[in-house]
Amino acid sequence: MNKIVFYKDKVKGIIDPKLFSDIAEQAASDIARSGQTQGRTKLDHNKRTQLRKFYDEVIRLNGNIKSNPEDWNSVLPFINMLIAKAAYANGRNKLVTDEFVNLLKECVAQVQKPADLDVFANFFESFMGFYRKYE
């Protein structure tokens, strides 16, 4: 899977124009493929209901920050905790794959300020839209 990079120019805040289209679609395809057991077409891991839990959490946290931007320092630890939750789901009967955990790690690592969380939330929304196609 290709590395996910939110910004074409982080200093200027210019989002990669392909982030919500080509990049999200490729990530969805790769994560769906990693959830299939060799020779099967049905997903054994990375089921949409599992991924949706992470998506819902990102959307909830983003909504909290939009309504209370002054809470950023208290919300940021919970954004980082998504990685621990994904690692737990990975360790628990491989509900999610290593590839999904790595995707979350890459995205969370780029969240440094509220605008980054908003980009992450929009990327995840695009990812989930495409995921429906590939699952």
pLDDT of residue 41: 55
pLDDT of residue 121: 98
What's the predicted TM-score (pTM) here?
0.92
Q: What is the distance of C-alpha 53 from the center of its chain?
A: 11
The pair of structure tokens assigned to 50 is 């599992």
pLDDT of residue 34: 86
The helix/strand/coil state of 33 is: helix
pLDDT tens track, the chain, 135 positions:
789 999 999 999 999 999 999 999 999 999 998 887 655 556 678 889 999 999 999 999 999 999 999 999 999 999 999 999 999 999 988 899 999 999 999 999 999 999 999 999 999 999 999 999 987
- Give the integer Cα–Cα distance in Å for 18 and 118: 16
Sign of CA dihedral 70, 71, 74, 76: negative
- Give the integer Cα–Cα distance in Å for 81 and 35: 23
